[in-house]
């Protein structure tokens, strides 16, 4: 476990013989990837199969004005918050290759533990969503050819979890994804282009749609609040230091290049499919856009299969911090095919994904999980903690106005996190009463 809670002077000489800032012990590769590869890791995250849900989970509850303005503002504030974390990567004379390391270095051991807990919850729920998505894509493919309702969503979720586990056994680390990131990009383009084209065709041929925000009273308000959490969920990984650890020197400069790519070129596909999907179907858009589109069976099958495969790759990205922790703790290094290493991955990663799959099948409410993830972990990790860490680390170098700006961010996002958590829990409670456990949605 890394040392936490020390002051700057204790770390100012943590450099190697070449003057590079040193990193703590780590079983996975670091400083091995170009900024372009890291940019594709980030872009894979925001253009994963989750984009097929934003028309229904963001635009429907917020409408045109709230949805468009909200997504653009979320893009800007997410870039800003991630940049703050990226600039602290070498703070205090050493590299902080884990989010919890950085928090622990600045605040102490209590922050190390709290940040690790928040991040674990964040990544677990993101992965739960990916398994729900993958299962939904498999079910949608099945129904295109066999609409007999023999196979239920929980069965497809179980299949998806098994495939995700098999992939996790064979890919030891985040950097080892390599060529898989290229496949991920092609898969993303396939379902995004198909969803866009079929939605555009449907929209051009459809009668006038209803774009009013559905619901009334308290239910409508809670839906709007929940959608605000989905806005920040769409852009943020909650594991930026872990991704930055893989980038080559100079790590801060290269990471900023990757972030600028992510929040410019990388967000365009998300905008395209989200806005077009809502325009085509109005407030009847589902939480999985491919359930709305009409077109040739084989085209829809390609879209669903590529969404399934991309979810498998994307899940591995968001599970990698847990894998790295376990591999480092138990000294799992060397060839991925060594019996010891392979056995360890099968037992630990298989156990983790089995539990994750069980939760996915038990409560397959994708939009609710997105809201809850944004509320209880994305807001605190990406916005509250990022602003406060930067404020604390750079306090002596900031003007009073800059400090006030960071405090305003901290207070605002703390309130948003609290309110959004209440809203998300209420949504899950309502859906749990509407649908039975292991529901076939």
Please say whether the beta carbons of 353 and 161 come within 8 A.
yes
* pTM of this structure: 0.83
Provide the β-strand partners of residue 247: 33
Categorize the per-residue pLDDT at 29 as very low, low, confident or very high, splitting at 50, 70 and 90: low
Show Cβ contacts of residue 296 under 8 Å, excluding neighbours closer than 6 positions. none
For residue 40, what are the contacts with CB-CB under 8 A and spacing of at least 6?
181, 182, 184, 185
Percent of the chain with pLDDT over 70: 90
Q: How confident is the model at residue 411 (pLDDT cuts 50, 70, 90)?
A: very high
**DSSP structural state of residue 320:** H
Residue 256 in contact with residue 264, Cβ under 8 Å?
A: no
Neighbours of 7 (CB within 10 A): 9
Note the pLDDT of residue 439: 67
386 neighbors 119 (Cβ within 8 angstroms): no
Q: Up-side HSE of residue 152: CA atoms within 13 Å toward CB? A: 9
d(CA 201, CA 406): 45
Name the one residue in this structure whose structure tokens are 């605190």.
380
Predicted pLDDT at 141: 92
Question: What is the token pair recorded at 123?
Answer: 């990544």
Is the model more confident about 226 or about 391?
391
Residue that wins the pLDDT comparison between 225 and 75: 75
pLDDT over 90 at 320, yes or no: no
187 pLDDT higher than 60: yes
Per residue in 94-139, pLDDT (tens digit) is 888 888 889 999 998 888 888 888 888 888 888 888 999 899 999 9
Q: Is the pLDDT of residue 370 over 60?
A: yes
**Sign of the dihedral through C-alpha 72, 78, 80, 83:** negative
What is the per-residue pLDDT for 269? 94
What's residue 25's pLDDT?
55
Question: What mean pLDDT, rounded, does the chain reach?
Answer: 85
Q: Is 409 helix (H, G, I), strand (E, B) or coil?
A: helix
Q: How many residues does the chain have?
A: 441
Q: What is the mean pLDDT of residues 363-390?
A: 82
User: How high is the pLDDT of residue 363?
Assistant: 77
Closest alpha carbon to 164 in 140, 131, 189, 133? 131
Task: Tell me how far apart the terminal alpha carbons of the chain are, to the nearest angstrom.
Answer: 43
Please count the other Cβ atoms lying within 10 Å of the Cβ belonging to residue 230.
Answer: 29
User: What's the pLDDT at 214?
Assistant: 87
All domains of the chain in start order, with CATH: 35-434 (1.20.1740.10)
Cα–Cα dist 311/360, whole Å: 14
Banded model confidence at residue 149, pLDDT cuts 50, 70, 90: confident
Which is higher by pLDDT, 173 or 10? 173
Give backbone dihedrals phi and psi of 179, rounded to 5 degrees, phi first.
Answer: -65, -25
- Single out the residue of 47, 52, 55, 51 nearest to residue 280, CA to CA: 55
| Whole-angstrom distance, CA of residue 209 vs CA of residue 72 | 24
């Amino acid at each position: 476990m890394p040392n936490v809670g020390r002051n700057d002077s204790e770390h100012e000489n943590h450099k190697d013989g070449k003057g590079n800032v040193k990193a703590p012990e780590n079983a996975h590769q670091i400083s091995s990837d170009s900024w372009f590869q890291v940019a594709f890791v980030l872009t894979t995250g925001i253009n994963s199969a989750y984009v097929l849900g934003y028309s229904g989970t963001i635009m429907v509850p917020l409408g045109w004005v709230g949805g468009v303005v909200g997504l653009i503002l979320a893009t800007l504030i997410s870039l800003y918050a991630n940049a703050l974390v990226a600039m602290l990567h070498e703070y205090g004379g050493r590299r902080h290759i884990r989010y919890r390391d950085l928090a622990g270095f600045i605040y102490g051991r209590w922050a190390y533990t709290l940040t690790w807990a928040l991040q674990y919850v964040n990544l677990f729920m993101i992965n739960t969503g990916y398994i729900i998505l993958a299962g939904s894509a498999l079910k949608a493919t099945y129904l295109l050819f066999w609409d007999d309702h023999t196979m239920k969503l929980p069965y497809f979720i179980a299949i998806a979890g098994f495939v995700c586990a098999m992939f996790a056994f064979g890919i030891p680390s985040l950097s080892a994804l390599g060529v898989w990131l290229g496949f991920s990009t092609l898969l993303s383009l396939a379902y995004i282009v198909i969803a866009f084209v079929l939605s555009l065709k449907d929209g051009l041929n459809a009668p006038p749609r209803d774009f009013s925000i559905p619901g009334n009273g308290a239910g409508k308000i809670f839906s709007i609040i929940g959608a605000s959490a989905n806005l920040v969920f769409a852009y943020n990984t909650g594991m930026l230091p872990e991704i930055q650890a893989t980038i080559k020197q100079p790590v801060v400069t290269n990471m900023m290049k990757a972030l600028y790519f992510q929040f410019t070129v990388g967000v365009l596909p998300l905008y395209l499919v989200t806005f077009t999907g809502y325009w085509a179907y109005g407030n009847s858009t589902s939480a999985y856009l491919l359930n709305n589109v009409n077109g040739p069976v084989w085209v829809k099958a390609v879209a669903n299969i590529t969404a399934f495969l991309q979810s498998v790759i994307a899940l591995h990205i968001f599970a990698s911090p847990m894998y790295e922790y376990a591999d480092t703790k138990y000294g799992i290094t060397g060839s991925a095919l060594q019996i010891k290493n392979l056995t360890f991955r099968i037992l630990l990663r298989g156990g983790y994904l089995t539990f994750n799959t069980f939760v996915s099948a038990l409560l397959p409410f994708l939009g609710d999980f997105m809201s809850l993830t944004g509320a209880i972990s994305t807001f605190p990790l990406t916005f509250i903690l990022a602003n406060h860490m930067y404020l604390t680390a750079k306090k002596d170098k900031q003007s009073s106005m800059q400090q006030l700006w960071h405090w305003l961010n901290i207070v605002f996002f703390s309130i948003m996190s609290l309110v959004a958590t209440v809203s998300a829990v209420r949504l899950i409670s309502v859906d749990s009463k509407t649908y039975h456990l292991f529901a076939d949605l």
